[in-house]
Amino acid sequence: MTAYDPCAHCEEVMQQYMDRVLTDAERAEAEAHLDECAYCRKRYRFEETLRVFVRQAVAAEPIPVELRQKLLALRTPLE
C-alpha cells in the first residue's frame, strides 16, 4: 500500500479547488493543507497568477473592426 502523500493529493485537486467545484469537506481539507504547506502554497499562488496571465495573453486580440462591420451588416433590415 502506498502511503498517503498530502502534497500529491493537493496537486491533484488544485484545479478543482480553483474552479470552486470541490465539496465543502474537500475544500476545507485543501485549505488546511495550503495553510501549513509552503511548497503547495507557493504553487497555488503561481497557478492563480498563471490563470490571469493566460486569460490576458489570449484576450489581447480584439475583434477586428472589419469583422464587426460585417456582423452589423448581417442584421435584418428594418421595413
Partner 1 sequence: MSETTREPDARKLATDARDRVRFEEDALALSDQVYRVARHLVGSREEAEDLMQETYARAFRSWRSFQPGTNLRAWLLRILTNLNIDRGRRQQRSPDMQPLEEGDYFLYNKLEAATDGPTDEEQVVERLSQNDVVAALSEVPHDFRDVVVLVDIGDFTYADAAQILDIPIGTVMSRLHRGRRILKQAMAEAAVGDEAA
Residue 6 beta carbon to partner 1: minimum distance, rounded to whole angstroms: 14
Identified binder of partner 1 from the candidate list 3, 38, 65, 74, rule CB under 8 A: 74
Q: For the purposes of burial, counting CB atoms within 10 Å of the CB of 26, is it exposed (0-12), middle (13-18) or buried (19 or more)?
A: middle
Residue 24 makes contact with partner 1 by CB under 8 A: no
53 makes contact with partner 1 (CB under 8 A): yes
Grid cell listed for 47: 497557478
In the complex, minimum distance from the CB of residue 2 to partner 1, in angstroms, rounded to a whole number: 16
Is 45 a residue that touches partner 1 (CB under 8 A)?
A: yes
Question: Using CA of residue 25, residue 26, residue 27, residue 30, what is the dihedral sign?
Answer: positive
